[in-house]
C-alpha cells in the first residue's frame, strides 16, 4: 500500500509528482551478524520523499531502527538480490514485503545476463561505459575463463548444431566477463541494446548497438545476452555459481575501484588497458566493515583518514582487479598518481586519481603500495573473498 499525504495540488501533473515522491516501499532484508554468526531478517520500509528508512526485527517483533534519513541510498539501489548499506550494515534485499512493492518493482527491476566475449577484451572499458550509460545497473560482475565442460554446459541448447564445437573453442580461448544487469524489462532492453547476432547485420540495421561497434561476425560478436527471462535465470545461476578462476598471482598489483567511482568504472578500466597493463582478474564485491578494516589494516594508526577510508569502502559496491606487468606495483602507482587528487591534478593531471578523485578518501582507486604486497592483496580478493 502506498503512503499518501493530503495535498491541494493545483494541477494534475503536480499531484502525480507528489504521489510518486511520497510512496513507500517495503522489503525483507538480511544482515549477517558476524559476532553471533547469525543471519538476521528485518522488514525495511523506504520512504521516497526524504530517502528515509525504518527497520523492524521480524524474529523479535520489535523496531530495530526508527525512521531515519539515509541520503546515500537512492530507491534505484533497492531491488531483489542487491546489497545495500544502511549505517555501515550490509543488507541483502531478499523479498518484497507487500503486494504494492512487488507490483511496482517486478517489471522495473528485472534481471538479465550479459557477457563480454573473448574477442572484446580490449574494448572492455568502452563496453562497461556504454552499459552504464544505457541505463543498466551492474549488480554482479566477474571475469572468468570457461573450461570445456563449463562452456558445453552453458551453450547446451546448441549442442548438435554445426557451429557448436567452434563456439565452444572460441568462448574458451580467453577470459569472459559476466554481468548481472538490472533494469526495466531487462531481457528485452539488453537484447535491443546489443543488436542482432551477426555483427555485419547489426552494422547495417542497428549501427549504434554494441555488436555493430565491437563485433566481427556471427560468433565473434563481442557480447552475449539472454534471450528470455527463463534463460536469464539459468545463465545467471550457472555463471555466478561457477568456482572463481584463481588469479595469476605473479608480476601483479591490486587495483580497487572505490564505491564513489563505480560510475566511472569503464573509463578507469580503459585507462588501465591503454597504459599497456593486463587485467587478469576482475570482480565486484560488497565489503562489510570487518572485511574492509582487515584489508586496510596496514593504514590503521598511520593514515589519519583510516576510519573514513573504511566507511567509503563499505558504502557500496567496489570492483577489484588483478593488474599485471613487469614491476607492476611501482609502474601502476605511476598511473594511479598521488593519494591526494588535488596534488595529482597539480603535478600529474593525466593520472587516474587526478581525473576521477575528489579528496584523499574519495580518490577513485586503491592501489598496492609495496612491491611485496601485490600478490597478497590479490590473494585477499581473489582467493579469500571469492567463492570457491
Report pLDDT digits (tens) over 122-176: 999 999 999 999 999 999 999 999 999 999 999 988 888 878 899 999 999 999 9
pLDDT in tens, 305-348: 999 999 999 988 999 999 999 999 999 999 999 999 999 999 99
- Residue 302's pLDDT is what? 93
User: For 295-315, what is each residue's pLDDT tens digit?
Assistant: 999 999 999 999 999 999 998
**243 within 8 A of 208, measured Cβ to Cβ:** no
Cell of 305: 583518514
CATH architecture of the domain with range 252-385:
2-Layer Sandwich (3.30)
The reply to whether 109-241 and 252-385 are identical in fold is yes
pLDDT tens digit sequence for 26-36: 999 999 887 88
**Topology of the domain covering 12-105:** PH-domain like (2.30.29)
Please give the pLDDT value at position 6.
37
Rounded-to-integer distance, Cα 125 and Cα 118, Å: 14
Nearest Cα to Cα of residue 175 among 323, 285, 282, 318:
282
Provide the b/e sequence for 102-112 (b: ≥16 CB within 10 Å): eeebeeebbbb
- 336: phi then psi, degrees, rounded to nearest 5: -75, -45
Class of domain 109-241: alpha beta
With a cut of 90, say whether residue 108 has pLDDT above it. Answer: no
Total-model pTM: 0.84
Give every CB contact of residue 160 below 8 A, 6+ residues apart in sequence: none
Q: Which residues contact 17 (CB under 8 A, 6 or more apart)?
A: none
245-263 mean pLDDT: 94
Of these residues, 123, 144, 224, 366, which one is catalytic? Answer: 224
| Boundaries of every domain in the chain | 12-105, 109-241, 252-385
383 CB-near residues (< 8 Å, 6+ apart): 246, 247
3 state DSSP class of 339: coil
Whether residue 224 lies in the annotated active site: yes
Could you list the beta-strand ranges (E) of the chain: 24-33, 38-47, 52-57, 62-69, 83-86, 89-96, 110-116, 137-144, 176-183, 223-225, 252-257, 278-285, 318-324, 365-367
Element (H, E) at 70: none
Amino acid at each position: 500500500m502506498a503512503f499518501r499525504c493530503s495535498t491541494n495540488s493545483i494541477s494534475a501533473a503536480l499531484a502525480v509528482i507528489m504521489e510518486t515522491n511520497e510512496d513507500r516501499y517495503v522489503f525483507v532484508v538480511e544482515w549477517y551478524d558476524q559476532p553471533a554468526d547469525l543471519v538476521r531478517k528485518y522488514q525495511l520500509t523506504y520512504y521516497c520523499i526524504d530517502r528515509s528508512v525504518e527497520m523492524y526485527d521480524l524474529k523479535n517483533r520489535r523496531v530495530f531502527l526508527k525512521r531515519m534519513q539515509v541520503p546515500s541510498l537512492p530507491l534505484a539501489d533497492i531491488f531483489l538480490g542487491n546489497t545495500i548499506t544502511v549505517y555501515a550494515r550490509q543488507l541483502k534485499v531478499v523479498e518484497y514485503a507487500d503486494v504494492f512493492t512487488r507490483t511496482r518493482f517486478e517489471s522495473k527491476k528485472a534481471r538479465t545476463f550479459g557477457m563480454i566475449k573473448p574477442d572484446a577484451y580490449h574494448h572492455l572499458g568502452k563496453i562497461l561505459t556504454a552499459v552504464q550509460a544505457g541505463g543498466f545497473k551492474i549488480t554482479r560482475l566477474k571475469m572468468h575463463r570457461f573450461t570445456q565442460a563449463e562452456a558445453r554446459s552453458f551453450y547446451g541448447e546448441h549442442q548438435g548444431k554445426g557451429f557448436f564445437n567452434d563456439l565452444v573453442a572460441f568462448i574458451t580461448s580467453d577470459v569472459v566477463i559476466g554481468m548481472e544487469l538490472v533494469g526495466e524489462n531487462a531481457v528485452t532492453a539488453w537484447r535491443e541494446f546489443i543488436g542482432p547476432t551477426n555483427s555485419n547485420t547489426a552494422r547495417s540495421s542497428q549501427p549504434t548497438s554494441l555488436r555493430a561497434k565491437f563485433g566481427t561476425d556471427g560468433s565473434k560478436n563481442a557480447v552475449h545476452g539472454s534471450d528470455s527471462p527463463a534463460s536469464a535465470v539459468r545463465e545467471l545461476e550457472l555463471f555466478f555459481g561457477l568456482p572463481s578462476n584463481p588469479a595469476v598471482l605473479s608480476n601483479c598489483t591490486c587495483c580497487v575501484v572505490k564505491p564513489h567511482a563505480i560510475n566511472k568504472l569503464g573509463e578507469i578500466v580503459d585507462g588501465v588497458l591503454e597504459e599497456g597493463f593486463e587485467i587478469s582478474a576482475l570482480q565486484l564485491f560488497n565489503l562489510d566493515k570487518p572485511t574492509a578494516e582487515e584489508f586496510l589494516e596496514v593504514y590503521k594508526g598511520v593514515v589519519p583518514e583510516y576510519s573514513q577510508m573504511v566507511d567509503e569502502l563499505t558504502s557500496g559496491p567496489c570492483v577489484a582487479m588483478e593488474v599485471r606487468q613487469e614491476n607492476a606495483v611501482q609502474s601502476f602507482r605511476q598511473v594511479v598518481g598521488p593519494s591526494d587528487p588535488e596534488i595529482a591534478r597539480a603535478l600529474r593531471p593525466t593520472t587516474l586519481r587526478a581525473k576521477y578523485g575528489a579528496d584523499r578518501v574519495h580518490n577513485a582507486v586503491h592501489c598496492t603500495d609495496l612491491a611485496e604486497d601485490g600478490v597478497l592483496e590479490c590473494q585477499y580478493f581473489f582467493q579469500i573473498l571469492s567463492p570457491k
